[in-house]
Amino acid sequence: MQMLSTLDPDFEARFARIVADRRESTDDVAASVASILSAVKSRGDEALIEYTARFDHYDIATDSDWTIAPEACEAAYKALDAELREALDLAAARIRAYHAAQLPEDRDYTDDAGVRLGAIWRAVDAAGLYVPGGRAAYPSSLLMNAIPAKVAGVERLAICTPTPRGKTNDLVLAAAHVAGVDEIWRVGGAQAVGAFAYGTDRIGAVDVITGPGNAYVAEAKRQLYGVVGIDMVAGPSEILVIADKDNDPDWIAADLLSQAEHDPTSQSILITDDAGFAALVDDCVTVQTSQLSTEAVARESWETNGVIIVVEDLAREAPPLADRLAAEHVELAIAEPESMLREIRHAGSVFLGRMTPEAIGDYVGGPNHVLPTGRRARFSSGLSVLDFMKRTSFLEVNEAAFARIGPAAATLAHAEGLPAHARSVELRRK
């Protein structure tokens, strides 16, 4: 953990290094991924069978080996203990409600010139959701990706997920049932992304691919950007907690650790205005870390990437520092968070007040937990129904309106050296 004070003479240099450090994988998997994608494009299902045997040690021999049946998902859901089933239902209901309120409105109006203008939003026909196997197979992530797609109105929502040695994750299956997923394919890695983008005999092509994955999955999405729509490139997760000394240091330590326990590359940053409080929080982090089943990961993350910044004046100094970090998650554990919410321009999601730890937002808050990382909140947003929709604009001109605006179009077309454009207008003026 690095401890900084804005009074340190080298503060700016150290803070700038923290801002610049993206903690992102530089593994060059581009060539391997390109070769996998090309094999899937040309040989389809045959390539999927080969890669699945090689990477996941799972043999696809019969029709039923390809998929996980909806009945299995329903059974997994019913087999959950009641508390967990109700928690999953509550999360799904709250995510659904938040995203339903997000649905954009169509526009259709006639302006002063008599021109009718508008835009119609529609869902894409099909979406593909990648669900990682192993450690990172979070049912909450499945809900956060699948529910916005369904709320947007996507008719066909397919999942690809690796099932190493045939192993499935019951909680993920239960979440797929709750979210109303239509298909689950037992295919993972770059080959799954390729199947989604190009389509195979078995797996129909989709229009948008979302969901987390390893370096191969991320690179495959990057290479197929433009062939299909994809969600934002995701990097290591991060939290910025802005907390005054009136907080319980144990609560703040737990919040920092809730990010640190995800991955050694995760980053937890505390900005506070009290050096004593900062030291207390660090002590609490140490004590709590040793009690976690995720101890090793959390410790490595905090030791390598953890930061505490002590400032003199939170209200004045925290917002500009927060904007430079443009963090995925920002907690405002202060008495009056409202004005700071308005002042911070760049953040994926903001958690207001002492009773809103980020973990609430990870599960049951309602807003999406798929958020821009690595300073991308400067220009991108969390996942939403808009990622599964597209807008068609439209225009209707009658003769009177045409007389008003047509001549200017012809003038500009001539000036741009496009005579057929001009002619298509001028012929109609006669």
Left (φ > 0), alpha (ψ -120 to 50) or beta: where does 258 sit? alpha
- Exactly one of 238, 261, 328, 358 is catalytic; name it: 328
Nearer to its own copies, 191 or 384 (CB): 384
Rounded to a whole number of angstroms, the minimum distance from the CB of residue 180 to its own copies is 19
For residue 71, count CB atoms less than 10 angstroms from its CB and return exposed for 0-12, middle for 13-18, buried for 19 or more: exposed
Alpha carbon of 274 to those of 271, 313, 339, 428: distances in Å?
A: 9, 9, 20, 73
For residue 9, count CB atoms less than 10 angstroms from its CB and return exposed for 0-12, middle for 13-18, buried for 19 or more: exposed
- As given in the structure block, the two tokens for residue 357 are 């730890």
Question: 3-state secondary structure string, 237-275?
Answer: CEEEEEECCCCCHHHHHHHHHHHHCCCCCCEEEEEECCH
Clarify whether 328 is annotated catalytic.
yes
Rounded to a whole number of angstroms, the minimum distance from the CB of residue 61 to its own copies is 31
Nearer to its own copies, 60 or 329 (CB): 329
Is 10 among the annotated ligand-binding positions?
A: no
Closest CA to 78 of 89, 68, 64: 89
- Exactly one of 329, 346, 358, 369 is catalytic; name it: 329
Is 362 among the annotated ligand-binding positions?
A: yes
Rounded to a whole number of angstroms, the minimum distance from the CB of residue 72 to its own copies is 18
User: The dihedral of CA 306, 311, 314, 315: what is its sign?
Assistant: negative
Rounded to a whole number of angstroms, the minimum distance from the CB of residue 66 to its own copies is 25
Nearer to its own copies, 52 or 237 (CB): 237
Is 416 among the annotated ligand-binding positions?
A: yes
- CA angle centred on 31, ends 28 and 34, rounded to 5°: 125
How far is CA 340 from its chain centroid? Answer: 24
Clarify whether 300 is annotated catalytic.
no
Is 291 among the annotated ligand-binding positions?
A: no
Is 414 among the annotated ligand-binding positions?
A: no
How would you classify the pairing of strands 389-396 and 116-123? Answer: antiparallel
Rounded to a whole number of angstroms, the minimum distance from the CB of residue 414 to its own copies is 9
Nearer to its own copies, 54 or 428 (CB): 428
Q: Collect all residues with Cβ–Cβ distance below 8 Å to 393 and sequence separation of at least 6.
A: 117, 118, 119
The CA distance from 189 to 20, in Å, is 29
Nearer to its own copies, 66 or 139 (CB): 139
Is 267 among the annotated ligand-binding positions?
A: no
Binding-site residue numbers are: 130, 191, 214, 237, 259, 262, 329, 362, 416, 421
Residues involved in catalysis: 328-329
Binding-site residue numbers for substrate are: 237, 259, 262, 329, 362, 416, 421
Binding-site residue numbers for NAD(+) are: 130, 191, 214
